[in-house]
Chain A
């Protein structure tokens, strides 16, 4: 133990991520801008402080020469034909110095030919359009400059931009001095720019400038503009805008530093490369964090990957035409990032975000999971995985990719938790350049009284909503900008919808047609058609309005907005027009709400409740179409919020009447308020204990303000944070089959009658799961029919299959059986491979233990699955023709000389053996020990393979060839015999 502690300490003492991505090229000064000349193989770097243009060779990344130019080259642009390099000199010295603001044109086709033109105002940025003219932005004018004739023409004026004067105090960098950025779209048809006070778009064909004043807090840093290929979107500072200037998404929690960071849009690959520094911490000064390059989705800034940089980016980034190398201004001068060769860089990835260890009523022994660690580029990359929690053990924690790491957990160490403990596996590597997220290890322990079945959903889940008209529920995954759509019958995910950045809350329109999604980092609300699950035009909010909470009544759709301005507001949404407008007032009250405001609508559309962390509540009455009540009876509020169709409301632990007057308080001793849902005139609520462990679910009688039968859950529900104190973590399913709660591992499904007495399970019949006949064999898939087999429906896609599913577990002769599916009347499972002969089967559920069910397990009992589907036809035997890889049916008959593949179960033990619940490997294939015989109408078929189907659990594959002389007919018997057992099905055979 002492050795282990010393080893961990040693690991923690070494640098975790010494490797970085990219090559730094120091220039001996501060770079202000770059221009890429691929034809000449040169990157021009404006050395602002040394009054030079450095020429960096693209081939060897060395600075081969320099051009001495007029003072303070602050911006560069290369003409589309590559003939001219235009240099803007920001030399705005205050008296007694002499301002030397100017433009220099360098004719690159005639070395040594350059002209300098004096400007009256400091130039802030330059960019060429596809017409060969350069837009020059000064502090007071938009100029068009013709590099051929040297003529300048003013096309518009600039208002409200004040230039800094030189000299500036020390520790100021070019982006802070010039404080402007201009960039052209790769197609040259539009140019976008950003200063301290305006954003603008210059349309090259029409030569029109559209300028937009703005205020921003924090400042729009980094002071960089990058434009998509067709100019339809651009990033400026920490925002992603469309061509009209609508903020589509913004980088979360920016520090707003002008001189740290950069971004570049790669339209061909649909990504944005960005370094947007965040503040060091709440209340701390805004200082840059470790330099990290994020690779993000170009449409909604969803993160894909993070790369460690050798130093901070500090200005413009340019991607080469092929999209393979990113050149960026950096602290030392330039940073060259071979993003096209990222696959060759050392990186790390795990095949699972979460590793789940479920509490098992049948087994308290150490359980383990495998984690596959790879380098996405296929290389060998060193890694170390360090658990942060005692009781989680990693074997072969260090190694080189690819590697399978075994993580084991002794449930006895966690047995007093009675809930789910989250541990993290932290990565360390000497050579990897990326920063993979830590792997979550979720260890659940439960007692028989804990109710519910949790389904693992990785990520940060922030909202759950049941569809009132469909058998679906929706969960918002904030860290990936996704709405996850689940089917209530199977609790399986059926769709994933993309949102804008940092989704915060969902709402369904009163007609049940659309799903609206509010965001914390986008000034739009995403809209989805709920029938087709296709995205619709989003709702555009006023500039600076971030719709964090949305609710739809029968009359109005309202959104509580975080506003980049003096007051936060509630806006009214015009869904047909896809716009929103801040309400002039909230009835008789000012439209000035707390930033934390959340909204929720009554199911019958009669009202919308607004709750705020400062204790204020507001009520919108749909009949009056205005806000009719506002109260502040509490010092603070947090946790659950809900509205009923019977004019009752809940916030935190408090029940409010139709006038929002508190009428009672629910028991707060159960823990922090998490979820609450009204169902007609009753309700459910969940609470999370402060010290961890199991949460509590409780029925509530809102009329009598009384909670009844508190019941421990399998794990704790989620609670709010300082930034988002309110939580909606509970939803009642439309068909009243159960309730869904967001909990530690994902979500937990509770049957409607979770708190009623549960009868012990009764087993009536055990059959094979292929054709539902009695013979079963070791390793075969079985179906158990009975009553009270499970309180919930639950299917799993976890691999290896869990030995406890839902609230049930199964043993055969005392050996745990992996389970696939549970329902009250049926359980599907796999028999262990090491059990045969007379056996006893026991099922444990929260209701108790079943009576012993005796069955005989044969050495082999082949049964062909009847799970095939063709068009609307189901129940087809899973016999495949290799000729077209389709099921054999009357319209796809077997032909002589065909090869057929039969999928079956019950073919018994294999060599090499495979652990029950584990998918078979194809290399080497696991062949059955007892070879089967396949007979078609009395003619034996040569069998080329009989064994487990690679990648599947409990499913066997038989490959057989049909001879030329096979008997023909509409219904020819196909018989598989093995070890004294046989099964027959009938197939059509034609010439």
Chain B
């Protein structure tokens, strides 16, 4: 949690430095795909993770200088929880919220031409299990899919391109990888089991931004 807090603070400070520069705001939409984590222990092994789902978000960016810009983003992701083992799968509805600040590197900026970029930043991601709780959950010998929420620090990395549609309107196509620690409260290992590691959330997005 302290790491997440520091990352947020850094993002806000960086944004504050840029207040005098031109801004872009817009929205993006796409989908999210997540990697699984292995649950292992005395009961055997299972795969725990999140179901693919839609993603929508908002972005506010500004150009720091010719090759760099900064943007702060919010992304909402449908992230149903899942657990599977030996042909049995359990799902549990869930969502996630990601807030982060990214620095964008523009290698070949040319006015009026598509503008590719690389992005790297950080923030926090909130995982929420929202399904109905029940005394019995299949595969509970491995892990519990839980109705709770958990905040994890997030590293954002990605790349994309901004295509000018008019002097003020840009089409964005991009790809992000949100890297977080595995949320072990939302998908909690059963006693005697272990789950953990890093979770990749691969999110392709397209959107429109308006520059002013």
Contact = CB atoms under 8 A, between A and B. Distances in A.
B140 to A, nearest CB: 5
Interface string A855-868: 00000000000001
Contacts of B140: 873, 889-891
A887 interface: yes
Given A884-B134, A890-B191, A893-B146, 13 more contacts: A873-B140, A881-B133, A886-B135, A887-B135, A890-B144, A891-B135, A891-B136, A893-B144, A895-B148, A988-B144, A990-B147, A990-B188, A991-B149
28 contacts: A870-B136, A871-B135, A871-B138, A872-B136, A873-B136, A873-B140, A876-B135, A881-B133, A884-B133, A886-B134, A886-B135, A888-B135, A889-B136, A890-B137, A890-B144, A890-B191, A891-B133, A891-B134, A891-B136, A891-B137, A891-B140, A893-B133, A970-B188, A970-B191, A988-B188, A990-B147, A990-B148, A990-B188
A466 to B, nearest CB: 35
Interface in B101-139: 132-138
Contacts of B147: 990
Contacts of B144: 890-891, 893, 988
B93 to A, nearest CB: 14
B145 interface: yes
B148 A892 contact: no
B4 interface: no
Query: For this complex, into which size category does the number of interface residues on chain B fall?
Result: 10 to 19
Please list the 4 inter-chain residue pairs (A to B) with the smallest Cβ-Cβ separation, ordered nearest first: A871-B136, A891-B137, A870-B135, A870-B136
Interface string A956-987: 00000000000000110000000000000000
A892 B149 contact: no
B191 A886 contact: no
Nearest to B137: A891
Contacts of B138: 871
A890 B135 CA distance: 8
Contacts of A988: 144, 188
Interface residues of B: mostly helix, strand, loop or mixed? loop
Nearest to B150: A991
B185 to A, nearest CB: 7
Contacts of A889: 135-136, 140
Query: For this complex, into which size category does the number of interface residues on chain A fall?
Result: 20 to 34
B201 to A, nearest CB: 22
B163 interface: no
Nearest to A893: B146
B135 A892 contact: yes
B146 to A, nearest CB: 6
A888 B148 CA distance: 15
A884 B136 contact: no
Contacts of A971: 191
A371 B191 CA distance: 52
A971 B190 CA distance: 10
Contacts of A991: 148-149, 185
Interface residues of A: mostly helix, strand, loop or mixed? strand
Interface string B5-43: 000000000000000000000000000000000000000
Interface in B155-189: 185, 188
A506 to B, nearest CB: 38
Contacts of B136: 870-873, 889, 891
Contact of A990 (B134, B137, B146, B191): B146
Contacts of A990: 146-148, 185, 188
Nearest to A890: B144
B191 A892 contact: no
A964 to B, nearest CB: 14
Contacts of B134: 870, 884, 886, 891-892
A427 B33 CA distance: 75
A106 to B, nearest CB: 65
A886 B188 contact: no
A69 B3 CA distance: 103
A426 B138 CA distance: 56
Interface in A835-890: 868, 870-873, 876, 881, 884, 886-890
A761 to B, nearest CB: 38
Nearest to A885: B135
B132 to A, nearest CB: 7
A889 B188 CA distance: 13
Contacts of A893: 133, 144, 146
Nearest to B149: A991
A329 B190 CA distance: 74
Nearest to A881: B133
Contact of B145 (A868, A891, A970): A891
Nearest to B132: A884
Nearest to A884: B133
Contacts of B148: 895, 990-991
A829 B52 CA distance: 55
Interface string A400-428: 00000000000000000000000000000
Contacts of A890: 137, 140, 144, 188, 190-191
Contacts of A868: 135
* Most chain A CB atoms below 10 A, which of B133, B137, B145, B190: B133
Contacts of B137: 890-891
A337 to B, nearest CB: 50
A735 B144 CA distance: 42
B194 to A, nearest CB: 12
Nearest to A887: B135
B138 to A, nearest CB: 7
A87 to B, nearest CB: 66
A763 to B, nearest CB: 36
Contacts of A895: 148
Nearest to B133: A892
A876 B185 CA distance: 22
Contact of A886 (B133, B145, B149): B133
A165 to B, nearest CB: 78
Nearest to A876: B135
B212 to A, nearest CB: 41
B207 to A, nearest CB: 33
Contacts of B145: 891
A187 B132 CA distance: 47
Contacts of B149: 991
Nearest to B189: A970
A891 B83 CA distance: 13
B115 to A, nearest CB: 43
